Structure 1
Amino acid sequence: MDRHFVRLQPPIITSSDCEGAGEVFTVSSNPPAASTKDDVAPLKDKDAAFFRDPKFLTVSSQLHLEAFVNEHQKVWTLSPTFRAERSDTPRHVSEFWMLEAEIRTESLQEVMDLVEDMIRSLTLHLYGSGFTEELIHAHRGSNPPDKIGDAYYAGLLDQRWQGLMRSSWPRITYRNAMKRLQDAIESKEVQFQYQPLWAAGLQLEHEKYLAAAVGNGSPVFVTDYPNEIKPFYMLPSTMKADAFSEHKTVACFDLLLPDMCEVVGGSLREHRLQSLTQAMRDHGLNVSDESALSEVKNADVSPSAEKDNLDWYVDLRRYGSVPHGGFGLGFDRLLGYLAGIGNIKDVVPWPRYYGRCDC
């Protein structure tokens, strides 16, 4: 079904870290001759920097897609993404592809509906094409003969694909998810290595439990996470007061897949100027009171001010914006889930991750 999205290609080199985690790769031209591959000295002379200020490989195309959504109602991209995460896990690589979309909307449910419909439609199309049989055949060809192993792999694929094709995926708030985890501990149903704490976020073991207990084989949306553990650009939630009413939450979601866990993240974006600038300050980001369209006149700009160069993003609100939201889908993770591959490094032809970039 044609939903009238416009595909765009945002830049790879950016001036900001939109996730605010500081896990960015810095871009520079030829490094000083005295440096080695193990010790690349930073450029101290601003005039020597190719772009004048430090620039980075993109960690997400979201902010630039938000600029486009002011003109087009629905936009999307499939682009490479770079994260300098020092994580050597089966779920992390430093270079991967993300499918990202932004739409004009005031409803988080609408964004989740879009994600659910997209993944389900993709799965139904591939399932009807006989693609699972090709995967099973390829699995047999790349492994020693093993009827038990073949049966397990075929059963794993069928279980995952059937879960994705279910007509309705459960949705649970972060608050209720925390209560579900606490109840599971109190009833001695499960023991966690890490205790579920409101401000600590969900650990992998928590996500796996929720995907199994709440989803029962299908994906699960967890919504309305605490404000303090999410990026600055998310719109505050509109939730009824309860026992956790002192905690501020934001209108966001993570989509958890059984075994794989978080594969999609999305939110409504803060479209109000004053609320956005206050949220940026609350997250420790530098924000100017005036438009960023003017050139930097003072050469003594602090490194932190350079890194938080988001005035152009604030200008999108200053000169008129619309309520909108969007999501980012880890494309390689989804492919691995569909193919029954447990390690994302086996999905990417040339995986780059902490300590390894050999070709």
Structure 2
Amino acid sequence: MANKIKELLQSGTVGTHVEIKGWIRTKRVSKQVVFLSINDGSCQGNLQAVIDPSQISEELLTELGTGASIAISGNLVTSQGQAQSIELQATELTLLGSAPDYPIQPKAHSLEFLREWSHLRFRTNTFGAVFRIRHAVSYAIHNFFHQRGFFYLHTPIITAADAEGAGEMFRVTNLDLLNLPKNPDGSVNYKEDFFKTSTNLTVSGQLAAEAAAMGLGSVYTFGPTFRAENSNTARHLAEFWMVEPEVAFNELQDNITLAEDFLKFLLEYVLKNCQEELTYLQQRSLHKTDTKQQMPLLERLNFVLEQPFARVSYTEAIAILMDAPPNKNGTFAYPITHWGIDLQSEHERYLVEHHFKKPVVVINYPREIKAFYMRQNDDGNTVAAMDVLFPGVGEIIGGSQREERMDYLIEAMQRINVPLEDLNWYLDTRRFGTIPHSGFGLGFERLILFVTGMENIRDVIPFPRTPGHVAC
């Protein structure tokens, strides 16, 4: 079995005979020596191999270009260069796959260009760093919940329920779209469909997770979700991943504490285990002249980790924003004019970056701008909602204490025309042994965007799905 470059760079012993397999990043040729920089994806760093040109034919040397895959063996020696401490003195080389006309040459490429080659961009320094960090955060998520006695729940991807009540769902059907069965009134007869009813891809696993929490106590989902929102912004995807814990007997303040502990655990894990990748991404962002980040990446992560989160009501937040200089001088793109308005990213970032100068949790939003399942407060106007706001991105988590009272829940569903019969099973969780309970949702790609300092959410998911784009 070939040695991993990560292990060799960390603890490789000079004089050891090793074999590595990977892809050529760069090649330098002189009369006396050939230098190959090789990466196998295990880490950010490359291992330099040094070869006597007399050992390889002219034809083979021509094929040893950027993108070609090779197996190479030899002895680890002390490097004569300053960029690395060891290098591989090659004694044997095998070309595994040539790469003529490889499109990603060792030069600066725009992220827009690399999105056109999403199936190859994993081999670049930037995307290697992003997706190793994505893996580390995924592992840390499971680790956090496992340590705290949560059970990992796989909620359905195909569902008949719209958890958000927004209607932006992808329909699932095996009906012949060119010959749809119809009812006498001209509507589609879904009784002829596979599930005998109208079904969609899920926008959230929350409702199913609530049901599970009623018997298992503490559960979480971590899976794909789908939104048919026709938006081509740098913050939206049609397919993305969500982390959604639900906890029996937790009330709103318990929920906030869980969210803060969760986020800090993830950031601490990444800072400890992905230093090389984070340093590279920070240097990349510092070299960009058009970056919108106001703090270097590592400073931003530590800013969140070290600060206790501020907790403020929506009403207090609106008062702060109405009095804020950007609102008074008209520089907010969306002016704050009255209580009841939904907060935009610019408002959320102002609260975090300028007013409180720390992460912020906004609670008790107007019921009219929040989902039907959130618990109504005693004032009759607000619900026990919570949004966690971060620098640079605004909302990173949204959650609430759930409405456990049957009559309040039914009234909220009827108010926004959620069919009671479609969610009768959900109402059963209130009919039989209802309890206070809470949960939240974390958009996984939104978190990775924050952790990596990338600017476009399409660059933190392996194969982005957006309006008009589903290739590879």
TM-score range, shorter chain: 0.7 to 0.9
Would you say the 8 A contact 1:211–1:220 is kept in 2?
yes
How many residue pairs end up in the alignment? 319
* Identity among equivalent pairs (%): 39
Which runs of no fewer than 5 residues in structure 1 stay unpaired? 36-41, 239-244, 289-308
Q: Give the Å deviation of 1:132.
A: 3.2
Q: How does 1:7-86 map to 2 (within 5 A)?
A: 7-33=152-178, 44-86=188-230
Give distance in 2, aligned partners of 1:147 and 1:344. 19
**Per-residue CA distance 1:30-63 (angstroms, 9 max, x = gap):** 533469xxxxxx9822332111110111100000
Would you say the 8 A contact 1:170–1:214 is kept in 2?
no
Question: Which residue identity lines up with residue 355 of structure 1 in the other structure?
Answer: G
Q: Does 1:260 align with 2:260?
A: no
SS at match of 1:199: coil
SS at match of 2:222: strand
**Please, which of 222, 234, 253 is the counterpart of residue 90 of structure 1?**
234
Give distance in 1, aligned partners of 2:329 and 2:304. 26
Q: How does 1:172-211 map to 2 (within 5 A)?
A: 172-185=312-325, 188=328, 191-196=331-336, 197-211=338-352
Equivalent position of 1:355 in the other structure: 468
Question: Which residue identity lines up with residue 11 of structure 1 in the other structure?
Answer: P
Give distance in 2, aligned partners of 1:214 and 1:355. 39
SS at match of 2:383: coil
**Please, which of 275, 279, 297 is the counterpart of residue 412 of structure 2?**
279
**Per-residue CA distance 1:57-114 (angstroms, 9 max, x = gap):** 1100000001001111100111101011122111110100001100023421111111
TM-score w.r.t. the length of structure 1 is: 0.82
Give distance in 1, aligned partners of 2:327 and 2:280. 44
Q: How does 1:223-234 map to 2 (within 5 A)?
A: 223-234=363-374
Give distance in 1, aligned partners of 2:286 and 2:259. 36
Q: Give the Å deviation of 1:355.
A: 2.4
The change in CA–CA distance for 1:341 and 1:34 in structure 2 (over 3 A counts) is same
SS at match of 2:420: coil
Give distance in 2, aligned partners of 1:149 and 1:205. 22
Would you say the 8 A contact 2:399–2:440 is kept in 1?
yes
Q: CA RMSD in A?
A: 2.5
Question: Which structure carries more relative contact order (alpha carbon 8 Å, separation 6+)?
Answer: 1
SS at match of 1:251: strand
State the structure with more CA Rg: 2
Would you say the 8 A contact 2:308–2:359 is kept in 1?
no
Q: How does 1:204-353 map to 2 (within 5 A)?
A: 204-216=345-357, 218-238=358-378, 248-288=381-421, 309-353=422-466
Question: Which residue identity lines up with residue 6 of structure 1 in the other structure?
Answer: F
Equivalent position of 1:297 in the other structure: none
The change in CA–CA distance for 1:187 and 1:71 in structure 2 (over 3 A counts) is closer
Which range moved further: 194-203 or 255-264? 194-203
Give distance in 2, aligned partners of 1:8 and 1:53. 25
Question: Which residue identity lines up with residue 94 of structure 1 in the other structure?
Answer: A
Would you say the 8 A contact 1:214–1:220 is kept in 2?
no
Which runs of no fewer than 5 residues in structure 2 stay unpaired? 1-143, 181-185
Would you say the 8 A contact 1:171–1:221 is kept in 2?
yes
